[in-house]
Amino acid sequence: MKLREKFIKKAKAGIKEAGEKRDAYLANVERTLEATDEVINVLAERLEDWYGLYFPELRSEDKAQYASIVLAINNKKNIDAGGLRSVAGKNAEKIAEMGKRSSGAEAFDLSEPKKLANEIVSLAALRSHYEKTIENIAKEICPNATEIAGGRIVAMLIAHAGSLERLSKMPASTIQVLGAERALFKHLRSRRKVAPPKHGILFLHQWISKAPKKVRGKLARTIAAKLAIAFKVDYGKGAFIGDKLRAQIDKRRRELLK
């Protein structure tokens, strides 16, 4: 019985310790943000299909903006472009003109689509809150890595690795392809007939995503190498060297782009 109580006590202590770790908290905020994105995408698709019966000409790549426009329109044939400008910007006049010529249904109950649009707008605000929270926590626990890659990428890497401790022990080559496991396994199963992935989550870094395809692999290796250093320093609560590491990456980036 004493041995059982000892194990229970140890398990409870482990749970408490895990709950107090800021990297675990950050990983959960990131996963919640990803889930929020999925919900917004699904609901936005339903809204576009539904509201499209009434105003099929209305389009917007920004799902939250589309929902906000839906909420702002009470009558597509008589849209106040001035009032719509706060959510549609310079496209307000264009939308007002499209509304007058719309081929959608005339007799249409807008109450339910508007309720759905309101939920999407609320979720978008929640998403924005999570983004700010991620940035703040990432700067707190990983100032060096955040300086290099930004809070969102740092949070995604920690969530993928499981903890900051695990991430700090990973070689640069592993950090480089985190998030590209399927492509890596496909490469290995093909007996190297399929090219290995050059990057995983790191592709979201603006310096990589906006770079010419031919230099992305080299740039990803450079960023991963500096992140490997940054995560080790951050885990050990060392001095801030993020600005120096970022400058070194930028120098290499400029060399590759010549």
Domains and CATH numbers, the chain: 1-141 (1.10.287.4070), 142-258 (1.10.246.90)
Distance CA 68, CA 84 (A): 9
pLDDT recorded at residue 185: 65
Tokens 């007002």 belong to 96
DSSP 89: G
Amino acid at 97: E
Q: Please name the residues in contact with 194: beta carbons below 8 A apart, sequence gap of 6 or more.
A: 186, 187
Q: Which of 229, 146, 169, 167 is nearest to 24 (CA)?
A: 167
DSSP 1: -
Taking a C-beta distance cutoff of 8 angstroms, is the pair 124, 40 a contact?
A: yes
Q: Which of 1, 11, 8, 109 is nearest to 51 (CA)?
A: 109
What residues in the chain have per-residue pLDDT under 70?
1-20, 184-185, 187-188, 191-194
pLDDT recorded at residue 191: 67
Q: Which of 122, 121, 136, 149 is nearest to 29 (CA)?
A: 136
3-state helix, strand, coil in the chain (%, to 5): 75, 0, 25
Q: Please name the residues in contact with 106: beta carbons below 8 A apart, sequence gap of 6 or more.
A: none
Tokens 């983004």 belong to 131
Q: Please name the residues in contact with 105: beta carbons below 8 A apart, sequence gap of 6 or more.
A: 53, 54
The 10s digit of each residue's pLDDT in 149-186 is: 999 999 999 999 999 999 999 999 999 999 987 776 67
